[in-house]
Every structure is written in structure tokens, then in C-alpha cells.
Amino acid sequence: MKASAFVVIAEFQVKPGQRSAFLEIAQDDARHSLADEPACRQFDVICPDGLGDTVIFYEVYDSRAAFNAHLETPHLKRFQSAFPPLIVEERPVRFATRHYP
């Protein structure tokens, strides 16, 4: 594995009672990202303890260009069309550079 990578952290506040539906479409996006995009190294869907209906995506790509390619995929388009009625808020996406591992 390369030492540096492009990290994307997306965070969503899901409507009460909609977490299962949101997780289903999120897992579809994550599964396809890992299976269909060779430059997607990791795609975690996380529900932090104590934060209610918050869901976080932790995504790792080879580069910014690889993430930009992800933005054009059919699975992301499906997710983007399905999630708006399930959330209260989509928080600003954060980007980072991973230096280790």
C-alpha cells in the first residue's frame, strides 16, 4: 500500500427512524466503490457511539483524481438520488492527506 493517500470524510445527520434505510444505500455505494474502483482503497460507513443518527463515511483513494472519478460513478449517482429524503443535514465534506499507513 502506498504511504500517502487522499482521504474524504463525509458526515450526515439522518432523520429519526431512517438510519436503516440510509445505511442500506450507503453500504451499496461503499460496496461498489471498493469492487468497481481500483483506486478506492477503503470505504468505511461508521455510526459513532453517542451521536444518535450521525453516519460518517471514511473514504481513502489513491489520489484526488481517483476521488473525482468516483464522483462520476453510477453507484454514487444512485446514492445521491436516494439519500436526500432520509437526512436532516449533510455536513461539509472534509478532505485530508493520509501519510501512514
Give per-residue pLDDT as tens, 41-60.
Answer: 999 999 999 998 999 999 99
The CATH number of residue 65's host domain is 3.30.70.100
The pTM score is 0.93
Separation of alpha carbons 101 and 94, rounded Å: 19
Residue 3: what pLDDT?
64
**Domain count of the chain?**
1
Residue 100: what pLDDT?
87
Q: What is the mean pLDDT of each run of 10 residues along the chain (101 residues)?
A: 84 97 98 98 97 96 97 97 97 95 81
Residue 69: what pLDDT?
97
**In contact, 78 and 98? CB cutoff 8 Å:** no
Look up residue 51 and give its DSSP letter. S
Residue 1: what pLDDT?
47
Burial class (CB within 10 angstroms; exposed 0-12, middle 13-18, buried 19+) of 56: middle
Range(s) of the domain holding residue 38: 5-98
